[in-house]
Structure 1
Amino acid sequence: MTDLLATIYLYVKAFHVMAVMSWMAGLFYLPRLFVYHAERGKTDQEPAASLVIMEDKLLRLIMRPAMIATWLSGIGLVLTPGVVDWSMLWPWVKALCVLGMTWFHGWCATERRGLSAGTSRGGRHYRLMNEVPTLLMIGIVLSVIVKY
């Protein structure tokens, strides 16, 4: 198994980068849709109905599969011999930030259900929460590139 992982390592890594990019795009965009929904989608008519559909499809059809692909390919990378030195700090920082991204994904799913049901927080709250994936991304990229 480890020979196979070593052989396909670069393909798994490339797939991982593509999956992460797709997941991050959704994590950046969905809270922005929440801002619009909270501030402009106060009724059951347009634009609220369109926002509910957009939020649902983004989460279900793009973000969830991208998150799963990110996790699976990431686990494949971690299992490849010689890729991760667990005695260093960087893989632990990355792992913690990835868990944070996964929590944020779950938070987005919960908020989407609330917005669909007609309950929401204010636009300011969603604007602030929109910064969470950026901070986590900074932690991930620095830890993987600098490898401290």
Structure 2
Amino acid sequence: MDWITDLLADWYLVTKSLHVISVIAWMAGMFYLPRLYVYHVEQVEPGSATDRMFQTMERRLLRAIINPAMAATWTFGLALVFTPGVVDWSFTWPWVKAGAVLAMSWFHGWLSARRREFAKGTNTRSGRTYRMMNEVPTVLMVIIVFSVITRF
């Protein structure tokens, strides 16, 4: 198993770069999808051509950008966790970050469930709900960034 830790150490900067890139892509989608839901619920007549267009946009955003970006974020993030010397679990910051990443992943699943509701025509949530939920990724991002940078 020494070859794995050597490989992780040798590729640390590449892995870290790919992690940051995938986080940026994931966050872009996590900011945009709830905003699409606001417009969808407030401006679109269910069953209309515009409704179908919004459903297509939401599905493609989720499947082509957000899902792969989350998978890449987790993959490269876990590679960093297993890279020797990167994370010291005796500190608070990695636990805070891990909790916030799990919460972000839950939110991702929540957004996916809402997309399925729009596709079935069963959405019951208001634009106000989606506006409030649109703040969730921002709050989690602040927690994650501060925990990693300040390492409290």
**Is the 8 Å Cα contact of residues 40 and 48 (structure 1) preserved in structure 2?**
no
Aligned to 1:9: 12
Structure 1 stretches lacking a partner, 5+ long: none
Q: How does 1:1-148 map to 2 (within 5 A)?
A: 1-120=4-123, 121-148=125-152
CA displacement at 1:17 relative to structure 2:
0.2
Structure 1 stretches of at least 4 aligned residues deviating more than 3 Å after TM superposition? none
SS of 1:23's equivalent in the other structure is: helix
CA displacement at 1:41 relative to structure 2:
1.6
Give the partner amino acid of 1:143.
S
Alpha-carbon distance in structure 2 between the residues aligned to 1:116 and 1:24: 23
Taking only the aligned residue pairs, the percentage that are identical comes to: 57
How many pairs does the alignment contain?
148
RMSD over aligned Cα atoms: 0.6
Alpha-carbon distance in structure 1 between the residues aligned to 2:63 and 2:81: 26
Give the partner amino acid of 2:68.
P
| TM score, norm. by length of structure 1 | 0.98
| Deviation by residue 1:77-112 (Cα, 9 ceiling, x = unmatched) | 000000001000000000000000100000000000
| Deviation by residue 1:11-49 (Cα, 9 ceiling, x = unmatched) | 000000000000000000000000011111222113211
